[in-house]
Structure 1
C-alpha cells in the first residue's frame, strides 16, 4: 500500500530521559501541531528527531524507543548533542532563520554550522531511503531540511518528493547574501513540488533560482536540465472543527468564567507569541503603552494578556529580547498600574491547550504585530473560536493575505497600531460578527486537511506531467 512519509526536524512525540527514566510527551510547536492534525488521516509514517540525544541512550533503550514510536507511525533520526548544537541552534537558527526573516545583521556565517547542516540532512535522507518503497510519497518540511530533497533524489532518482517551507522565503537581494545559496537552492530543487504559504514567497524563490542558478521559469514551473518542477502557494489551514468543538467543552467554559472573574476589566486584549525577534513583541508593548498614555479613559478598563512562549533561550538574541520585554512590561505596569489594576498580565510559559482556547474566548481583541511571519496560525485559531473578537493583524504575516477583514496594520507604524487598538475596542458588535463570519467560513472551507490534500494532489499531478514529458521525448527519438 502506498504511504506518505512526512519528514520534519522534530517528531510529534518528544522523548526525554530523566533520572534514568524515559518519558514520552506530545511535542510543542506550530509545525508539529499543524502537521499532527492531518498525518494520521493518511497511511503515513513521520520521520524526525525524537528530542533525546543519541549518546544519552543505550542500544537497548534506542530499540525500546524505536518500537514505542513505531506504534505511533513515527521513525526516529538519532542526533548527537554536537549535531543539534551546530545544525539546529547553529545553521538553522543563527543563519537561516534571521536571514529568511529579514534580520541580516543577526546572521552568523560559520563553516562548522554548514558542515553539520549537510551531515544531518544526509542522515535524514538516509533514514527516508530505508523506508521508501515504489509509489510512496515523501513530504519534507521546513528550513531545517532544505538539502534533503536533493539527497533523496540522488539515491532514488524516480522518487515522488514534495517540499514545503513554513517560514518566509526572502527576496533575492536578501537571499544572495548567503555563502551557501546555490547549494540550498539545488537542495530544494530535488523536490517535484515546492510549496510556500503565499505567492510572494514563491515569487522570491523563483527569482533566486533564475538569478543564482540560471534556470528559467514560466507559469510556476521551473525548467532544470533534466526535470520539470512546480512551485506554488498553499496557505496552511488549521484543524477548524477541533478548535470549534474545543471552545464548547465544559472545562474551557469554566476557564473562561474564571479568567473573566480574575481580570475584572471591561476589555481584554490578547497577545500569544513564541519568544522571537520576528514577532514584534517590543513594538506591541510600545504601542500599548502609547495607547494608555493617549487614552486615559481606557485605563482600568482594559488589560493586555501577554503570553510569551519560551524558545531558543540559549541563542543570544533571544536572551536579550527576553530582558527587553521584562523591562518594558515592568515600566508600563509601574507607570499606569494601580492597586486594583495591572495593565499587563505577563505569562512567560507554554499554556495547556484548553487554557489557550479559553484565552481566545475571553479576549475581545487579538493583537498580532509580527515583523515577518510565514503564516501565523494563532490568528486563524482566534477567529475560529471567537465569533465576536477583533483581530488586529500585521501585514507582514502570511495570514494577512487570507484574513483581509481583520484590522491590518504595519507593525513598524506605532501610531497606526495605537489607532487600531482604539478602533477594535470601540467596534460595534454587529461589525465584529460580520467581519468574523467571512473569515470563519474561509477557515472552515480550507482547513489543514484540505491544505494537505491539495498539496499531495498537486504533487501527483506534476509527477504525471513529468512522465508525459519523458514519454514524448522517447517517442520523438523513435
Structure 2
C-alpha cells in the first residue's frame, strides 16, 4: 500500500520503543516490542508515521548524533529529560501519585507540589518537541497518564486549530469521588479535554470521565460527546488487543511442546493454576495466594492434585511499596508451603523474575487454570495472551479488570473477596472438558478479532473522520 505523504500521524508516549546503547565509539539501536508497537504496524503501511518519546542515558554531547540516526532510520524523535527532573516527573508523580490514584489506591498517592511542577515541565517539553515537527493536518496521538496535560497545551499553541489531537488512557479512569479529593484533578481533566478524541479500555472509564467533565461545567451532549469551550470532545471505548499469531506460532514449535511436557512431568501431572504478573499492588497477588491456601484448607484432598505457579516479574523495585510487596509474596508463599507435610508436598511456586517468551508460552499451554485477580486494571493483556495460546484451560477473571467485558467465557470473581476467589478456583478446576473447550474457543474468537492492529486502526480511523 502506498503511503499518503499528506496523512501523517505523530505518536507520543513517555518512552520511545527503542533501546540505544553505547558500543565503543558508536551506538547500537534495537527496537523494542509491546502492544503499542504491534498495534501501530498498520499505520506504517498507509501513513507517514513518526514517534516521539523519551530516550535516557545519552550524554548531551551525543544527542544530536543519536537524534539524527533515530529520525532517519526509525522515524523516531527523542525527547531528552535531565535525570533529576525525570525522577520527579516519572517515579514520584506518575508512579507515586497518578498510578495509585487512578487505580483507586488513593491512600498510596504521596503528592507534593514540587513533583507536579516537574510533571508540568516535562509535559511542556513534550509539547514543544511536538510543535517542532508538527504540520497542518497532522493527527497527534498522545498516550497515557504521563502526558495528560499535553492535549490542552497543544490546543492552546499556534498550531492548535490545525491538527487533530487524540488521547488514549491505558489505565482506568477513577470515579469522581476519588478524584474530588485530589487538588490537581481539574487540571488533569482539562488537559485531556484539549483532545478531539479520548479513548479508554472500558465503558466504566467513559462514564467516569464524562461525569468528571460534567463537574467542571462541560455539557454532556450524548454519552460519548463532551462539549467544552465550543468544541466537541468525543470519548469512546477502544479496548487494546495483542498479536495472537505471535503466540500461536510459538505454541506450534516442537521445542515449546516439549517444554510443556517437561513442565507437566515436573509437577507430576497435577493440575496447574498459573499467575503471570508484574509485581504490583494492583494485581491482587496476595489475595490469590490466600485464596489458594483457603481452598486447600477447605478441600485438603486437593493438596496432592494441584499446584499454584506464580510468575512475578520485578517492577519498580526502587520504590519501597513494590519492594515490600515482593517480600510479602515470598513470605506468603513460604507460609502456605510450610503448612504442608514435606518438601514433596509443596503447592505454591513463586518465581520472582521474568522468563523468555518461549517459556511464557509453555507455561500458558501447560496451565489448567490462569488466574487474573487484579484489584483494578486498565485491561490486562495476560488474560488475552493466555487465551491466545493452545490448550483448553479455564480462565478465572477479576471483574475489576478491563478485559472482563471482552472475555465472557471466563469464570468471574471478586478479587477483594477471598471466598469468591477460592470458589472460582474450584469452579474452574471442576469444569467439564467440553465446557472448558467451548468457553476458551469463544474467547479465542474475540482475541483473534480484537487485535492490537484492530485497536490502532479503529482509533486512527475515528480520529481522521472527526470534523471531516
Give me the TM-score of the superposition, normalised by structure 1. Answer: 0.91
Matched, 1:353 2:357: yes
Matched, 1:33 2:38: no
Match in the other structure for 1:133: 135
Q: Cα 1:66–1:305, aligned 2, differ >3 Å: closer, same or farther?
A: farther
Larger deviation: 336-345 or 181-190? Answer: 336-345
Matched, 1:188 2:189: no
Q: Cα 1:34–1:224, aligned 2, differ >3 Å: closer, same or farther?
A: same
1:210 and 1:217 in contact (8 A); partners too: no
Of 8, 17, 28, the residue aligned with 1:12 is: 17
Larger deviation: 212-221 or 289-298? Answer: 212-221
Of 97, 100, 120, the residue aligned with 1:98 is: 100
Residues in 1 aligned to 2:404 and 2:361: alpha-carbon distance in whole angstroms: 21
Which 4+ stretches in 1 moved above 6 angstroms? 18-21
Matched, 1:73 2:75: yes
1:245 shift after superposition: 2.0
1:281 shift after superposition: 0.7
Residues in 2 aligned to 1:350 and 1:268: alpha-carbon distance in whole angstroms: 19
1:271 and 1:367 in contact (8 A); partners too: yes
2:373 and 2:398 in contact (8 A); partners too: yes
Task: Deviation per CA, 1:123-150: give whole Å up to 9, x if none.
Answer: 1112222222222211111101101111
Task: Deviation per CA, 1:21-76: give whole Å up to 9, x if none.
Answer: 8565554xxxx6101112233232221112x245xx14236513651464233221
Match in the other structure for 2:456: 452
Q: How does 1:16-165 map to 2 (within 5 A)?
A: 16=21, 24-25=29-30, 27=32, 33-43=34-44, 44-50=49-55, 52-54=56-58, 57-60=59-62, 63-64=65-66, 66-68=68-70, 70-155=72-157, 156-157=159-160, 158-165=162-169
Residues in 2 aligned to 1:66 and 1:223: alpha-carbon distance in whole angstroms: 41
Matched, 1:301 2:302: no
1:53 and 1:79 in contact (8 A); partners too: no
1:251 shift after superposition: 3.1
| RMSD (Å), alpha carbons | 1.9
The answer for unaligned runs of 5 or more in structure 2 is: none
SS in 1 for 2:396: strand
SS in 2 for 1:457: helix
Match in the other structure for 2:430: 426
Q: Cα 1:311–1:223, aligned 2, differ >3 Å: closer, same or farther?
A: same
1:241 shift after superposition: 2.1
The answer for unaligned runs of 5 or more in structure 1 is: 465-478
Matched, 1:400 2:401: no
Residues in 1 aligned to 2:374 and 2:194: alpha-carbon distance in whole angstroms: 31
Residues in 2 aligned to 1:292 and 1:392: alpha-carbon distance in whole angstroms: 17
Give me the TM-score of the superposition, normalised by structure 2. Answer: 0.93
Q: Cα 1:322–1:207, aligned 2, differ >3 Å: closer, same or farther?
A: same
SS in 1 for 2:360: helix
- Paired residues in the alignment total 457
SS in 2 for 1:42: helix
Of 262, 270, 276, the residue aligned with 2:274 is: 270
Residues in 2 aligned to 1:366 and 1:263: alpha-carbon distance in whole angstroms: 16
1:4 and 1:138 in contact (8 A); partners too: yes
